[in-house]
Amino acid sequence: MTFKEYRKIVKSRMGEKRFSHSENVSKEAIKLAKLYGADPEKAELAGILHDITKETPHEEQLQIMEKNGIILSKLQLSSPKLWHSLSGAAYIESELGITDQDIINAVRYHTSGRAGMSILEKIIFVADFTSEERDYDDVDVMRKKSRKSLEEAMHYGLSFTLSDLIKRERIIDPNAIDCYNDITINYTF
Ligand SMILES: [Fe+2]
Ligand SMILES: [Fe+2]
């Protein structure tokens, strides 16, 4: 399948607003790939695909995951917002025939991050924070950091997200904590 064909499928599975976000993440991912020496075509594809099941009904996402042998932990079951990264990764592999494990992992870990991420995984994680339509308070800081160091941008984004989740007494995906620790241990800013 060509990029155009994948793009068309993505478009058919979500509303206009989310599709525009997906396109913006894809464009931002190309820029970051060129900056950090990753494959721009892979980044473009992972970007357009990353939220492919975000607007898929929960019941259908559960079916996709079950069909692909994904057994949810109690924590995962209680956070349906996190499902789209799991079901999205399973969907692009089993239904769209994506075989590139790096692209599959970029979708799989785009919400939580994880320890030991590849450059492509980091690019999609960061591009999701800095895509053109994003307009939260510190988006300028985040964009600036993303041009300096992917890890610095991730550290900044994760610090905010994790402390915000704790403040709101919400559940935290252990992968996000692993990701935060991994970057804190291995990089200095
Ligand atoms: Fe997402
Ligand atoms: Fe997204």
Query: What is the per-residue pLDDT across 63-106, written as a single tens digit (0 to 9) for each?
Result: 999 999 999 999 999 999 999 999 999 999 999 999 999 999 99
Number of domains in the chain: 1
Give me the domain span that covers residue 8.
3-186
Asked if 129 and 140 count as a contact pair (C-beta separation under 8 A), the reply is no
Q: What is the CATH number of the domain that holds 44?
A: 1.10.3210.10
User: pLDDT grade, residue 189 (50/70/90)?
Assistant: confident
Q: How far is the centre of ligand 2, averaged over its atoms, from the C-alpha of 17 (Å)?
A: 11
Q: How far is the centre of ligand 1, averaged over its atoms, from the C-alpha of 81 (Å)?
A: 9
Q: How far is the centre of ligand 1, averaged over its atoms, from the C-alpha of 9 (Å)?
A: 17
46: Cβ–Cβ under 8 A, 6 or more apart, which residues? 29, 102, 103, 106, 107, 120, 123, 124
Q: How far is the centre of ligand 2, averaged over its atoms, from the C-alpha of 22 (Å)?
A: 6
Whether this prediction's pTM lies above 0.85 is answered by yes
pLDDT at 101 (0 to 100): 98
* Pairwise CA distance, residues 141 & 20, whole Å: 23
User: pLDDT grade, residue 150 (50/70/90)?
Assistant: very high
Share of the chain above pLDDT 90, in %: 98
How many CB atoms lie under 10 A from the CB of residue 39?
18
Is the pLDDT at 27 greater than 90, yes or no? yes
DSSP classification of residue 81: G
Q: How far is the centre of ligand 1, averaged over its atoms, from the C-alpha of 51 (Å)?
A: 5
Closest CA relative to residue 125, chosen from 110, 138, 114: 110
31: Cβ–Cβ under 8 A, 6 or more apart, which residues? none
Q: How far is the centre of ligand 1, averaged over its atoms, from the C-alpha of 128 (Å)?
A: 7
171, 176, 181, 187 alpha-carbon torsion, rounded to 10° = -150
Asked if 127 and 47 count as a contact pair (C-beta separation under 8 A), the reply is yes
